Amino acid sequence: MKKFLRILFILILGALGTGIYFKNFMNYIEGERIIGFTVLFGAFFYLPLFLYHRWKDKRLQDYTLSEENLKKMKKNNYK
């Protein structure tokens, strides 16, 4: 999964670079479309895959401020 995400990220950066090149040096409208589709793909496909990969096997309770965690913090003298 890690290699897949890295390759996908490189492809997204390449598509973004291609869109910027098209926008500046060739067809402005086509460049805008390429950039737009790249941003949409990154936001709706890559980002959820990345977040799933990073949060897999993690407990959300360890990162939330609950009564139990507050007691642990007070016990350890955190202010």
- One-letter identity of residue 41: F
Q: What Cα–Cα distance (Å) separates residue 57 from each residue in 7, 31, 65, 68, 70?
A: 23, 40, 19, 21, 23
Domain extents in the chain: 2-75
pLDDT averaged over every residue in the chain? 88
CA–CA gap between residue 9 and residue 39 (Å, rounded): 12
Q: What is the pLDDT of residue 79?
A: 54
CA–CA gap between residue 46 and residue 61 (Å, rounded): 25
If you ran DSSP here, which 8-state letter would residue 64 be given?
S
Residue 46 has pLDDT above 90, yes or no: yes
Q: What is the pTM of this model?
A: 0.70
